Amino acid sequence: MSWISVALTVDAGSVEALSDALLEAGAVAVEVADAHAGTPHERALFAEPGEPGASAWERSRVCALFDENEDITVRVAAALRTAGLDPACGFDVERIAERDWVRATQGQFQPVRVAPRLWVVPTWHVPPDPRAINLVIDPGLAFGTGTHPTTRLCLGWLDANLRGGEAVLDYGCGSGILAIAALKLGAARAAGVDIDPAALLAARHNAMQNQVVAQFETPDRAPSEAADIVLANILANPLTLLAPLLARAARRGGQIVLSGILEHQAEAVGNAYREWFDMNTMQHAEGWVLLSGTRR
């Protein structure tokens, strides 16, 4: 079976209405991207709670996938009318051949060395270096495959600083990769906290894949005892708001490790933690920053 991809370029104010209308008109999937992607005018969006500013591109490319047997002209015209746009608006059409989508998706994830001793290996791959510490991760609904710069920064920090026997808390654990890495690097205990039930399920599954015992819970069931190391790879504004809570979670003399921070946000986030922590030198990767500090 083949598919038909339809692409339209619209202003920011029409994206949501058009996306909904295309799905209502029979599209099986809709994707939105920067209309200027691949050009000097391409702009990254890092939307996060509490941060003012644009949360959408000025011009977006809305792509919809239809069954090849659909009357595309009729379907798209109906969607445009529903969205309050000109039904005669032009659009691009591309035929997409049937593929083994599972195999194609798996092909996007390859083993990657993320720190001197650490590899992240998808479950369907054989570890390239059996002597290394291999984190076997099943990429799924939760953030944390090890390839994003913020996750690599945290894994590198753990590889360089974990001495063994520590109690570790990962706040906003996603796939559980940081707690799992801490245990495989020698931590005595590790727990993860996340508000997303899908993340907690993924984290528990990944812990079993790696044959480690970690506790993954919602915030209301987080461990009450203070941790030697508190990790939080989230976003700058949530990190700022969570400063008092994360400070209480770290024992005196313990370490705080913060990531998910863009370079221009680092000073403000660091200032939010200086009431409780002596903050250290920043680490950088591809425009992102890791901050760490010692609890007073």
Q: What is the CATH number of the domain that holds 113?
A: 3.40.50.150
Q: Which residues contact 44 (CB under 8 A, 6 or more apart)?
A: none
- Give me the pLDDT at residue 108, please: 61
pTM for the full model?
A: 0.72
In this predicted structure, what is the pLDDT of residue 177?
95
| pLDDT value, residue 51 | 52
Q: Is the domain of 114 the same as that of 247?
A: yes
pLDDT of res. 292: 98
Q: Which of 23, 26, 20 is nearest to 84 (CA)?
A: 20
259 & 123 share domain: yes
Residue 125 is predicted with a pLDDT of 84
Same-domain pairing of 209 and 83? no
Report yes or no: 279 and 173 within 8 Å, Cβ to Cβ: no
152 and 48 within one domain: no
The tokens of 264 are what?
């221009």
Judge if 92 and 114 occupy the same domain.
Answer: no
Q: Is 39 domain-assigned?
A: yes
From start to end of 68-125, where are the E strands?
Answer: 92-96, 112-115, 118-122
Task: Assign residue 43 the CATH number of its domain.
Answer: 3.30.70.120
Closest by CA position to 2, among listed 88, 79, 71, 66: 66
**Phi and psi, residue 51, nearest 5°:** -105, 120
Q: Is 127 exposed, middle or buried (0-12, 13-18, 19+ CB in 10 A)?
A: middle
pLDDT score of 70 = 92
- What's the confidence (pLDDT) of residue 139? 62
Q: What is the pLDDT of residue 124?
A: 82
Domain of residue 88 covers 3-98
- The pLDDT value recorded for residue 53 is 47
Final residue belonging to a domain, choices 66, 98, 130: 98
Confidence (pLDDT) at 1: 65
In a domain, 103, yes or no: no
pLDDT, position 123: 81
Tell me the pLDDT of the chain (296 aa) as tens digits.
678 999 999 999 999 999 999 999 999 999 999 998 878 777 766 555 555 444 578 899 999 999 999 999 999 999 999 999 999 889 999 998 766 555 555 656 788 898 889 999 988 888 999 999 999 987 665 566 677 899 999 999 999 999 999 999 999 999 999 999 999 999 999 999 999 888 899 999 999 999 999 999 999 999 999 999 999 999 999 999 999 999 999 999 999 999 999 999 999 999 999 999 999 989 999 999 999 999 99
pLDDT of residue 144: 64
Distance, C-alpha 126 to centroid of its chain: 24
Q: 120 with 79, same domain?
A: no
